[in-house]
Amino acid sequence: MNLSLLLFLVGILGFILNRKNIILMLISIEIMLLAVTFLMLISSYQFDDNIGQTFSVYIISIAGAESVIGLSIVVAYYRLRGNISLRS
């Protein structure tokens, strides 16, 4: 549980400290989602429950779809503006 808390804090710090780089912000969001998934896996293993493991696979697939949509928005923004910096 300490590892998932540490990963979540790293994700929050990455999101707060890198407000001008959108790719690092997306990576920080992914780290936070993976920390929550890891915590759910640990909890489901401790309680001997298969529902938590199934839900963790669902969270991972949603996180993958979210990263694809986020990166496609970044590519469209780059084609429109010419750079991906949030502060112009």
Q: Are 26 and 67 in contact (CB under 8 A)?
A: yes
**Token pair for residue 6?**
């540490």
Print the SS3 string covering 49-86: CHHHHHHHHHHHHHHHHHHHHHHHHHHHHHHHHCCCEC
The structure's pTM equals 0.83
Average pLDDT of the segment spanning 36-57: 91
In this predicted structure, the answer to whether residue 83 has a pLDDT above a threshold of 70 is: yes
